[in-house]
Amino acid sequence: MANSDNNNKTAWQMATQVIHAGSGHDDPHGALAAPLYQTSTFKFANTEQGSARFAGEEGGYIYSRLGNPTTHELETRVAALEGYDAAAATATGMGAIAATTMAFVKAGDHIIVSDAIYGCSFALFSELFERFGVHADFVDLTDADALTAALKDNTRLVFLESPANPHLKLVDIEAVSQILAGRDIKLIVDNTFMTPLLQQPKQLGADLVIHSATKFLNGHGDVVAGIVCGSNDDIALIKGTTLKDMGATISPHDAWLILRGLKTLDVRMQRHCENAEKVADFLHKHSLVRKVYYPGLAEHPNHSLIGTQMRHAGAVIAFELDGDEAQARYFLNQLQMIPLAVSLGDAETLIQHPASMTHSPYTPEARQKAGISDTLVRIAVGLEAAQDIIADLSQALQSSQQRWQRSA
């Protein structure tokens, strides 16, 4: 019977899995929703049970930093969605990135990182890792020759985002995986922008997949959290070393909130993506917009990955205004409905200025190399009526145009 149940779950569509995968809680009262185990510690029946659990000789919970039933249900569900054996939930997305990458390196090791990533990830690898003797090379991973040339005998991992934050650069994950084949190098993919509904890096050869669960997985802007999915052995290593000892574990309440958010992930992503297509089309046609970075547009250099690597282009768009930084800031300050805020995946559409906000840890030279200009704007398209999002962008652009004409 158990095998039959597992086979049925494997056959479920993603829209069903976001609701039912991993929902194996055994509540004595028959609660439909996952129970919230808001506790720091767990009682033992006797000293023998306590010592057996600490020794790993008996299953069960000890302390919520080491494991919690609510957290475990979240981990099981997201692992199922990504197609992995296991997962580890963390207090933040950066907690997931730090705990995962640090678990596989030591002083003297070398890592390769995509040349376009989130600002705090850039700072982690370029500054903190260097302080502890781990050198990172930032490489254009769309260039197979550049990746091959960067590989060293002491290379231990390759880390990438696809689409990349903030300007939606795509990396062919399978092509990178093929170059790494046969080498003892972990391929780690940040899949935050896509969610497992739009992209499953495991199918393309990724060893581990990371999410900022703050974003689409939760979807309500009221949690900061992260999660990493991988093999049983890799997740056990992360949980038993870096995550345990750095203490970046998720709170049970936040895990419970994300479980609630996951139930609507499928319908939310449909609306996010539909709205993003309309907003991208509007921006693409506007005279004040110099360039739009959105994989769904045919002019995007890696548009061909839509339908192969990715099921859809997603809900994040970057665009450059035809002006300077002061004009970009003025435009952002004229928005009335769209909040100026640095996140994505919420019900609200959010907009921000990467050069001075999310990617401010980059040096000016690094920003230039990564293609993050002073007029680049990132918009995470939300769930409002598309015409209202476009109307707010339109009036802000019109106001900006009038001001620029007066000052010309």
User: Strand runs (DSSP E) across 41-163, as ranges?
Assistant: 86-90, 110-114, 135-139, 155-161
Residue 96: enclosing H or E segment and its boundaries?
helix 93-102
Catalytic residues, by residue number, are 65, 118, 190, 215
Task: Name the phi and psi angles at 243, rounded to 5.
Answer: -65, -45
Written as six digits, the tokens of 120 are 């705090």
| Strand partners for 172 | none
R_g of the chain computed on alpha carbons: 22
Instruction: Tell me how far apart the alpha carbons of residues 170 and 162 are, in angstroms, rounded to a whole number.
Output: 5
Residue 233: enclosing H or E segment and its boundaries?
helix 232-240
Write the CB contacts of 381 (distance below 8 Å, at least 6 apart in sequence): 272, 275, 276, 279, 315, 316, 317, 349, 389
Q: What angle do CA 140, 141, 144 make, to 5 degrees?
A: 105
Q: What angle do CA 311, 314, 317 make, to 5 degrees?
A: 145
Instruction: Tell me how far apart the alpha carbons of residues 367 and 380 are, in angstroms, rounded to a whole number.
Output: 20
Q: What angle do CA 214, 263, 266 make, to 5 degrees?
A: 85
